Structure 1
Amino acid sequence: MSVAGLRRAARETVSGLPREFWWLWTSTLVNRLGAFVATFMALYLTLDRGYSASYAGLVVALHGLGGVVSSLGAGVMTDRIGRRPTMLIAQTSTAVSVAVLGVMVHPAAIAAVAFFVGMSSNASRPAVQAMMADIVRPEDRVRAFSLNYWAVNLGFAVSSAGAGFIAERSYLAGFMAEAGMTLVCAAVVFLKVPESRPERTAAAVRDTPAEPAVRLSTVLRDGRFMSVVGLSFVVALVFQQGYVGLPVAMGTDGLSSSDFGTAIAVNGVLIVALQIPVTRFIQHRDPRRLLVVSSLLAGYGFGLTAFAGSVAVYALTICVWTIGEIINAPVQSGLVVRLSPAHGRGRYQGMYTMSWSAAALVAPLMSGVVIDHYGATWLWGMCAVLGTAAAGGYWMLMRGLPAEEKVTESVALVAVTAAEPGQDAAAGLPQDAVERAV
């Protein structure tokens, strides 16, 4: 492709998205640029503090458990008090708790604060996902989620290198740097990101009864959506093996931690390089087929690891499942929004977020038990089976999927919530927007 073609492709990828999305995207990038705790927690506890590997594993598990606990609560907050307040509370709490964690010395105190860090750092995710669904047109959502996922990985790639440099000199400086960057993220949200929660739907605008309230019980009774959550958990279990099962397997093959770092770096490089062009290719294609393909790539990408014995072959298998990850992330996020009612997106996103947090807890246990008792080959075979099962589940689940909502919905919702507090929601809409919405 020529330089002009690349420029045109880049312009088409980023064009047409609202300004509010780009401020939200910026806050995501800043947040991930400051990531330190999740990456270096185990090393900090074992190398800097001198604790055992077992204690470090307990603290990391408590950090993950905090994310599981906060997912549903944050989803409820997102719907009740709004997307913006939830993000501000979560980010401010994260900044404070990370700074406190950096100065804790008692084992019980470190464990307790790590749990709170996990809760607060995960609490903004349902709000971010719900807000993106609110402000972006339905036909642009896969592209928007893909760009946001790209920002997450770009920020993580940069922060990992920078955080490693900082950690060699002072772990405390790393904690304080993350706290500071999280406060910057909160400042961006406070100054530039407006509330987008839909206070009234188009039905309410034309004085018809409002849609029924969405509660957590409503989400749990939504069979199709909970099936998506279950399939998401299965796929997440597979992807998590790249960070829990893979390093152990490479170690048993006599490879070093630096070899693992070299191999897994392929994941981040490919996501940063390919996320945007792949999104251009998939954004208007059948989501059912994309989810089936991504599940198979994930399952059999890890399945091929059973035949790996060198860094080069391990890196090759990582390429396979990374392509699956690039496809799966934005398409599955778009599917979650498609199945979520506008006035209940926070709760639905919270339940979806919990599936990934739960997988992060279960995956280390699964890999440890399987490798210890049966060997790594069995683990990779299980990944292939799980990927195949998820592919079949997506194929069956998405038959008769409801039609995509009207394009005008997101425009109406943003305009509704832009009205002044206490003002009639319909008054916040331009007349032609009201007419299009109804």
Structure 2
Amino acid sequence: MKTLFNAYLNTFRGLSKEVWWLALITFVNRAGAMVIPFLSLYLRDDLKFSLSDVGWVMTCFGFGSLFGSWLGGKLSDSLGYYKTILFSLLGTGLGFFFLQFITGFWPICLGFFLLIAIADMSRPAFFVALSAYSKPENKTRSLTLIRLAINLGFSAGPAIGGLIIASIGYFGLFWVDGITCILAGLLLFQTLNPKKAKETDQEVLIASPLSPYKDHLYVLFLIALALFGVVFVQYFSTVPLYYKEVRDLTESQIGLLLGMNGLLIFIFEMPLIAFMEGKKWSQVTNVILGLLLTGLSFGAFFINSWAGILIVGMAVATLGEMIAFPFGNAFALRRAKLGRQGAYMGLYSMSFSLSHIFGHNSGMQLVNGFGYEITWLVMAGLCLVAIALLYYIKNKLEVEAGSALSKI
């Protein structure tokens, strides 16, 4: 047991102090992110919106994320990642305070668009900061550490959020979200102020940056990730509704089930990534494996005779997530060295924003029009399309690598 524990700790060694601070800031921020996992339930139960209306609010959520990711990439390259992240955290905190008082359909749509736009400005900036504070050989593990912080916070957030809803109502979530965003901003100001923190990687800018829009393999890769994102976001929109309406789970049980996802990631992801890196498989191959597992997880929803299958399904989806996201992030960061990292990582973040735009709403409309089972089949099919795209990209990259070797 001691040997196993030491091996686990070794997977965290060698990361810079600044990366650990980024992880702590991320944890504080995400530990309070309780509104988002319960958003569909809040709109449905508290504000009495229809399924169709919930889908359109989620679409505005996605458009806000898309705009914020694009703007965050631009600001990261012009103003720097530190100012972009600080403004985003403080602005998001204030936004949560005000949003709880909005109840109309169109004001809610506009409010979530603006809130998520400000919140997601920080996404590409965090990637640029991580690249600046990480040595090249540590970047995949650094990305994994940040994901651990996100998921540790997320494992606590939904569980506590369910208790808050049961005790004082949904409005308490907005206050907690706002306070934790501001606390994360203050922590950033104290620890990663450019006057105090030292960058360890100077490969942020190059002389002749390539536009990410002209990097065709990168764009295809992001299309595949966007399709995967459409599937993955179902676990935060249609799946919670399925848990409640079909499986009769309470908010607290739903929170615990969603929280299990983050807890599994916190315990197993770093050792898993170290193991996968030891296999020497390509980053794209690992992403393919992750997509395959996530697609298979929807099969659990077709088994109604055993309630425990929901736990198994969540575990399989989590395993797919643990593999796909870190290696997808790492591939994007490696490819970003061809150009301005803010623009590249902004486009990367935008691919997941597109997932929010089309994923939540399409899922809601599919459930509303055809039921849950057809929805799960469609999501599994999208995973197969994304896998086919990634196989094409993998083959093209191997051809490029072979051509480069032949010229040496």
Q: Same fold (TM over 0.5)?
A: yes
Distance in 2 between the 1:264 and 1:44 partners? Answer: 16
Distance in 1, matches of 2:292 and 2:43, equals: 37
Conserved 8 A contact 1:82-1:197: no
1:386 pairs with 2:382? yes
Distance 1:157 1:199 in 2: 31
Give the C-alpha shift of residue 79 in structure 1.
1.0
Work out whether 1:283 is the aligned partner of 2:282: no
**Residue of structure 1 in register with 2:178 after alignment:** 179
What is the 5 A alignment of 1:51-70? 55-70=53-68
Say if 2:62 and 2:357, in contact at 8 Å, map to a contact too: yes
How big is the shift at 1:351?
0.9
State the 1:240 CA deviation: 1.8
Q: Is the 8 A contact 2:59 2:361 kept in 1?
A: no
Measure the CA separation in 1 of the matches of 2:333 and 2:212. Answer: 13
Q: Give 1:239's match in structure 2, choosing from 228, 232, 248.
A: 232
Q: Which residue type is aligned with residue 5 of structure 2?
A: R
Aligned to 1:84: 82
1:56 positional shift:
5.0
Amino acid corresponding to residue 269 of structure 1 in structure 2 = L
Cα distance between partner residues in 2 of 1:176 and 1:321: 31
Q: CA deviation at 1:128?
A: 0.5
Give 3-state SS (helix, strand or coil) of 2:124's partner: helix
In 2, Cα distance between the equivalents of 1:157 and 1:138?
29
Letter in 2 for 1:181: T
**2:323 paired residue number:** 327
The one of the two structures with greater contact order (alpha-carbon pairs below 8 A, sep at least 6) is: 2
Please state how far the C-alpha of 1:83 moved relative to its aligned partner: 0.7
Q: Given the alignment, which residue of 3, 10, 22 partners 2:20?
A: 22
CA deviation after TM superposition for structure 1 residue 344, in Å: 1.1
Distance 1:241 1:211, change over 3 A: same
Residue 223 of structure 2 is matched in structure 1 by: 230
Query: Quick one: structure 1 residues 75 and 137, their matched pair in 2 at CA, closer, same or farther if it must change by over 3 Å?
Result: same
Is residue 153–residue 262 contact of structure 2 (8 Å, CA) maintained in 1? no
Counterparts of 1:374 and 1:106, CA distance in 2: 28
1:305 aligned onto 2:304: no
Q: Which amino acid aligns with 1:185?
A: A
Aligned to 1:361: 357
> Which amino acid counterpart does residue 89 of structure 1 have in structure 2?
F
CA 1:269–1:128: 2 relative to 1, 3 Å: same
State which of 140, 143, 159 in structure 2 corresponds to 1:142. 140
Distance in 1, matches of 2:273 and 2:73, equals 27
Which residue number in structure 1 is paired with residue 127 of structure 2?
129
The structural deviation recorded for 1:142 is 1.5
**Are 1:143 and 1:283, in contact at CA under 8 Å, matched by a contact in 2?**
no
Larger radius of gyration: 1
SS in 2 for 1:35: coil
The one-letter code matched in structure 2 to 1:272 is: F
Deviations 1:291-337 (A, max 9, x none): 22111111222245334554222322222222111111111000000
Helix, strand or coil for the counterpart of 1:39? Answer: coil
Contact conserved, 1:297 with 1:321, CA < 8 A, in 2?
yes
Q: Which moved more, 1:292-301 or 1:110-119?
A: 110-119
Task: Give the corresponding residue for 2:95.
Answer: 97
| Residues 15-72 of structure 1, C-alpha deviations (whole Å, 9 max, x = no match) | 1000010111110000001213323444445555566665555444323321111111
- 1:360-379 Cα distance to aligned partner (Å, 9 max, x none): 22123322343444443333
Q: Work out the percentage of aligned pairs sharing the same amino acid.
A: 24
Q: Which residue of 1 aligns with 2:347?
A: 351
Aligned counterpart, 2:404: none
User: In 1, distance between residues paired with 2:80 and 2:73?
Assistant: 10
Does 1:268 find its partner at 2:262?
yes
Give 1:11 deviation, angstroms: 2.2
Contact 1:79/1:343 (<8 A) preserved:
no
Say if 1:90 and 1:121, in contact at 8 Å, map to a contact too. yes
Q: Cα gap change, 1:231/1:54 in structure 2, threshold over 3 Å: closer, same or farther?
A: closer
- What letter is aligned with 2:261? N
| C-alpha contact (below 8 Å) 2:128/2:341 kept by paired residues | yes
* Residue type at the aligned position of 2:248: L
Calculate the TM-score normalised by the size of structure 1.
Answer: 0.80
* Structural RMSD (CA): 2.9
Unpaired segments ≥5 residues, structure 1: 205-209, 404-438
Letter in 2 for 1:38: I
Look up the equivalent residue of 1:186 and give its one-letter code: G
**Alignment check: 8 A CA contact 1:61 1:361 kept:** yes
